[in-house]
């Protein structure tokens, strides 16, 4: 079975996330997509986020009518391993959830014949070289990246961890090629999905909440009701 892990903050899960998952499911015949909210995202520890339980509840609501979409507790408090690693500037990142750990935990439950993908947007992918144990992560799974206008295939190649990047002579022709198709390199396989980017952001959702505008163009209707009921994203 083809299986995908879709990790992220999901604060909140929105239509852009769902569009990526649906397109990936269709193109790669995914039997299951695990939507996995991060408890402590390593790259967002300096920014306030909603509680894990609110974010998981919204994921569950957004995916409840999608047979192949599964809200995952892989990174729930008390479930994911608590680790500490040294960041790029030498600062300890205690208690963070690292994707490599989550992927390996998921793979322990899969069959050897299963094919695992990791779903991600290109804006997040451009920082992949800074992720904990990024080289090993590319060995564990293939990547499906939601592309958008303005990015080239060279941008994708240059975003890879240094030891996985092809030589500049190889990537030079990529600069004129839009980020689409497949990039298959020794140690890394990246599949690019076009025309799935939607102009939705957490900031736009918060602005709509503050202005008391409808949220259904940004999020699933059940998620919009939850945000209103729980009073999320209101200005303090």
Instruction: Reply yes or no on whether the pLDDT at 43 is more than 90.
Output: no
Strands lying side by side in the sheet with 69-71: 69-71, 30-37, 2-8, 115-121, 142-146, 188-193, 181-185
pLDDT of res. 95: 59
How far is residue 149 from each of residues 74, 122, 123, 195, 196, measured CA to CA in Å?
33, 10, 11, 9, 11
- What pLDDT does 199 receive? 80
Q: What stretch of H or E contains 174?
A: none
Count of alpha carbons within 13 Å of 223, Cβ hemisphere only?
Answer: 28
Whole-structure pTM value: 0.88
CA neighbor of 177 nearest in space, from 197, 147, 199: 147
Pick the CATH number of 2-200 from 3.40.50.720, 3.40.190.10, 3.40.50.300, 3.40.50.620: 3.40.50.620
Tell me: the pLDDT tens digits for 201-220?
888 999 999 899 999 999 99
Instruction: Give me the chain's average pLDDT, please.
Output: 88
- The DSSP annotation for 52-68 comes to HHHHHHHHHHHHTT-TT
φ/ψ of 149, rounded to 5, equals -55, 145
Question: Which pLDDT tens digit goes with each residue over 44-59?
Answer: 555 688 999 999 999 9
Q: What is the pLDDT of residues 78-89, one digit of tens each?
A: 755 544 333 333
């Amino acid at each position: 079975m083809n299986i995908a892990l879709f990790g992220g903050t999901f604060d909140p899960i929105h239509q852009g996330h769902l569009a990526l998952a649906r397109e990936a499911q269709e193109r790669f015949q995914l039997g299951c997509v695990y939507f996995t909210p991060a408890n402590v995202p390593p790259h967002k520890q300096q920014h306030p986020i909603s509680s894990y339980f609110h974010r998981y509840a919204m994921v569950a609501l957004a995916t409840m009518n999608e047979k192949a979409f599964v809200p995952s507790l892989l990174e729930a408090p008390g479930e994911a391993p608590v680790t500490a690693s040294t960041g790029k500037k030498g600062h300890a990142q205690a208690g963070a959830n690292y994707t490599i750990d989550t992927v390996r935990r998921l793979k322990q439950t899969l069959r050897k014949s299963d094919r695992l993908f990791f779903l991600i947007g290109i804006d997040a992918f451009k920082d992949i070289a800074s992720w904990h144990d990024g080289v090993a992560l590319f060995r564990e799974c293939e990547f499906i990246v939601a592309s958008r206008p303005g990015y080239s295939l060279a941008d994708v190649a240059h975003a890879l961890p240094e030891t996985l990047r092809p030589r500049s002579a190889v990537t030079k022709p990529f600069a004129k090629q839009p980020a689409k198709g497949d990039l298959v390199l020794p140690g890394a396989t990246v599949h690019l999905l076009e025309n799935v980017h939607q102009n939705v952001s957490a900031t736009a959702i918060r602005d709509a909440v503050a202005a008391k505008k409808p949220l259904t163009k940004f999020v699933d209707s059940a998620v919009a009701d939850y945000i209103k009921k729980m009073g999320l994203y209101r200005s303090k």
